[in-house]
Amino acid sequence: MIVTISLNGKKITEDISADMTLYQFVREHGCYSVKCGCETTNCGLCTVFLNDKPVLSCAVLAARADGQKVETLEGLQKEAEEFGRFIADQGAEQCGFCNPGMIMNAIALFRETADPTDEEIRRYLAGNLCRCSGYEGQLRGIHEFMKYKKEGGASWAK
């Protein structure tokens, strides 16, 4: 089956098997920030943006992304790097394994919600498994980043 997918701004046309997941597709094209920790949609490590919405790429067939736009952290470097500093400053990246999924969902939060409550933040991060930090560091990092945005930082943010 031939698909054409815009991956991080680059159009890729490829013959794929019908059962190939979007996770497998992006990994085969060098997007190693996308990880798979469970294959059951429970960890959030495989989060990518499909047409600007976060999806779990282990649960989406690559064929469903035909003609669509897919973004990973590799394509969102400026946003990811700027916010990632705030997570690191709060000690919330102990092993770092969960960071790509956390950052993808935090970016979705920032794009969709101007001034989220703690409950909204927790809802966005709920599907991200982190065994090291207990999530409080991520919550503090998000609050610090939002304060930074309000003070005129984060040139990419709306």
The per-residue pLDDT for range 89-105, each reduced to its tens digit, is: 887 667 777 788 889 99
As a whole number, mean pLDDT of residues 6-30 equals 98
- Over range 73-78, report the average pLDDT: 93
Residues 6+ apart with CB under 8 A from 111: 52, 157, 158
3-class secondary structure, 78:
helix
At residue 154, the pLDDT reads: 64
**CATH number of the domain located at residue range(s) 2-74 in this protein:** 3.10.20.30
Mean per-residue pLDDT, 109-123: 88
Q: What value does the mean pLDDT take over residues 137-148?
A: 88
Q: What residue ranges of the chain are covered by domains with CATH 3.10.20.30? A: 2-74
SS3 percent helix, strand, coil of the chain, rounded to 5, is 40, 15, 40
- Kind of pairing between the strands at 69-71 and 47-50: antiparallel
What is the overall mean pLDDT for the chain? 89
Q: Which CATH number fits domain 76-150: 3.30.300.30, 1.10.150.120, 3.30.479.30, 1.10.3720.10?
A: 1.10.150.120
Residue 139's pLDDT is what? 87
Check whether 67 has a pLDDT greater than 90: yes
52 phi, psi to nearest 5 deg: 70, 10
